[in-house]
């Protein structure tokens, strides 16, 4: 029995129980320690694994040269797999694994397994070192005059406080200021509504009751090419649905639909996922990301999930040639909420 070392014991709360120390249990020799034949067997096993590893590397190089990227391996129910990926991974993986297993087998069977004991020392520096460090620091402080020369100290702190500002100011040109760009999309009065995939303009008779079409403004492609980005698309995408006019409970504005055809933003008001999961019987629109559910027959209002605001409705009508067009831009910002939205 011996005492626990008490170098750093709090004055409050600690109850030191009786400390009992048990000696290390006696060491048991392994078969490889006592039987030279077992040791030689283990040595052979380790070496065999190293040799197999080397062979796998040669197989890897052969596979790299021989197997074209375009070859595929059918693994039945497990699916189809790129042959080169399979063979390169198999050979390289085995080569690596074998080195690891061999090294550990070597350590476990042939290296000494007698536990050794090392003693710990208190982690902190000894008191004389602490005193010496403090003395050195104090001497430096005294020589610098940091304490007495108040003016130097204060102006130094002031200068250092201002110093990082350029690093922050320089970040300003990372992007333009938002301005009112989040409030508008490229929809204009009379923008033709085209099918997103084909770019075909739509007539009301192209849509059956219960159908949903992903659509965009006719000039989207040209704007996108001019801007060289997808910013316009990220806000202007809409979905068109057609329901029986008698099913419509309410709309966000009077006369915003055309014979049961309603247009809504496709960008979720929660965090901006595009939505196109539509249940035609209930007129519910479900966001696949976070399951916000909107009732398109009732002003696109939220009926379930984390979104707070209704899907913005785009007022539409039909132009003189019989094509569906927008009456105007959206009457509210589309997509997620933002600080200045209110």
Which 208-227 residues touch other proteins, going by CB under 8 A? 214, 216
Which of 305, 317, 318, 328 is in the footprint of other proteins by CB under 8 A? Answer: 305
Site string for other proteins, 128-167 (x = CB under 8 A): ----------------------------------------
Residues near 288 by beta carbon (within 8 Å), at least 6 away in sequence: 273, 275, 277
Contacting range for other proteins; rule: CB under 8 A; set: 92-100, 140-148, 204-212, 241-249: 92-100
Which of 88, 212, 223, 248 is in the footprint of other proteins by CB under 8 A? Answer: 88
Q: What is the residue-wise DSSP string for 121-140?
A: --SSPPHHHHHHHHHHHHHH
Q: Is 255 in the site for other proteins (CB under 8 A)?
A: no
Q: Is 277 helix (H, G, I), strand (E, B) or coil?
A: strand
Contacting range for other proteins; rule: CB under 8 A; set: 88-96, 146-154, 187-195, 310-318: 88-96
In the complex with other proteins, which residue's Cβ is closer, 248 or 280? 280
Which of 100, 126, 140, 145 is in the footprint of other proteins by CB under 8 A? Answer: 100
Strand order, beta sheet including 277-279:
277-279, 284-286, 293-295, 301-304
Which of 248, 276, 278, 298 is in the footprint of other proteins by CB under 8 A? Answer: 276
In the complex with other proteins, which residue's Cβ is closer, 185 or 327? 185
- What is the spatial distance between Cα 330 and Cα 326, in angstroms, rounded to a whole number? 9
Dihedral pair phi/psi, residue 158, rounded to 5°: -60, -45
Strand-pairing partners, residue 82, are: 72
Q: Is 237 in the site for other proteins (CB under 8 A)?
A: yes
- What is the spatial distance between Cα 204 and Cα 244, in angstroms, rounded to a whole number? 13
Q: Is 82 in the site for other proteins (CB under 8 A)?
A: yes
Q: Is 107 in the site for other proteins (CB under 8 A)?
A: yes
Q: Is 94 in the site for other proteins (CB under 8 A)?
A: yes
Which of 117, 162, 169, 170 is in the footprint of other proteins by CB under 8 A? Answer: 117
> CA 192, 193, 196: angle at the middle one, nearest 5?
135
Give the Cβ contact number of residue 187 at 10 Å.
Answer: 27
In the complex with other proteins, which residue's Cβ is closer, 62 or 139? 62
- What is the spatial distance between Cα 50 and Cα 38, in angstroms, rounded to a whole number? 19
Q: Is 336 in the site for other proteins (CB under 8 A)?
A: yes
Shortest reach from residue 116's CB to other proteins, in Å: 6
Shortest reach from residue 154's CB to other proteins, in Å: 31
Q: Is 102 in the site for other proteins (CB under 8 A)?
A: yes
List the structure tokens of 316: 């539409």
In the complex with other proteins, which residue's Cβ is closer, 163 or 339? 339
Strand-pairing partners, residue 192, are: 325
- What is the spatial distance between Cα 297 and Cα 284, in angstroms, rounded to a whole number? 8
Q: Is 84 in the site for other proteins (CB under 8 A)?
A: yes
Which of 159, 160, 161, 342 is in the footprint of other proteins by CB under 8 A? Answer: 342
Which of 144, 155, 181, 259 is in the footprint of other proteins by CB under 8 A? Answer: 181
CA atoms within 13 A on the CB side of 42: 20
Q: Is 304 in the site for other proteins (CB under 8 A)?
A: yes
Which of 45, 272, 284, 298 is in the footprint of other proteins by CB under 8 A? Answer: 272
Give the Cβ contact number of residue 312 at 10 Å.
Answer: 20
Contact call for residues 216 and 233 (beta carbons, < 8 A): yes
Give the Cβ contact number of residue 228 at 10 Å.
Answer: 7
């Amino acid at each position: 029995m011996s005492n626990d070392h008490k170098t750093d014991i709090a004055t409050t709360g600690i109850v030191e129980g009786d400390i009992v120390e048990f000696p290390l249990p006696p060491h048991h020799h392994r078969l490889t320690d006592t039987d030279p034949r077992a040791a030689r067997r283990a040595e052979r096993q380790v070496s065999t694994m190293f040799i197999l590893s080397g062979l796998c590397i040669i197989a890897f190089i052969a596979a790299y040269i021989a197997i074209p990227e375009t070859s595929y391996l059918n693994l039945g129910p497990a699916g189809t797999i790129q042959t080169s990926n399979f063979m390169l991974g198999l050979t390289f993986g085995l080569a690596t694994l074998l080195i690891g297993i061999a090294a550990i087998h070597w350590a476990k069977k042939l290296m000494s397994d007698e536990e050794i004991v090392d003693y710990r020392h208190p982690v902190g520096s000894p008191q004389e070192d602490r005193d010496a460090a403090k003395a050195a620091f104090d001497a430096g402080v005294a020589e610098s005059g940091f304490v007495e020369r108040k003016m130097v100290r204060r102006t130094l702190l002031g200068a250092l406080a201002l110093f990082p500002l350029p690093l922050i100011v320089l970040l300003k040109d990372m992007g333009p200021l938002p301005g009112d760009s989040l409030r508008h999309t490229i929809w204009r009065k009379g923008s033709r509504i085209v099918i997103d995939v084909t770019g075909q303009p739509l007539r009301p008779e192209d849509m059956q009751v219960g159908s949903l079409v992903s659509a965009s403004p006719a000039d989207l492609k040209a704007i996108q090419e001019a801007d060289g980005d997808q910013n316009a698309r990220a806000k202007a995408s809409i979905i068109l649905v057609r329901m029986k006019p008698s099913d419509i409970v309410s709309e966000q504005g009077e006369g915003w639909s055309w014979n049961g055809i309603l247009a809504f933003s496709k960008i979720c008001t929660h965090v901006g996922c595009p939505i196109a999961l539509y249940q035609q019987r209930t007129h519910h629109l479900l966001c696949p990301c976070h399951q916000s559910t909107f009732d398109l027959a009732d002003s696109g209002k939220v009926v379930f999930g984390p979104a707070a605001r209704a899907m913005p409705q785009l007022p539409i009508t039909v132009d003189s040639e019989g094509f569906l067009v927008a009456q105007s831009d959206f009457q509210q910002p589309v997509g997620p909420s933002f600080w200045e939205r209110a």
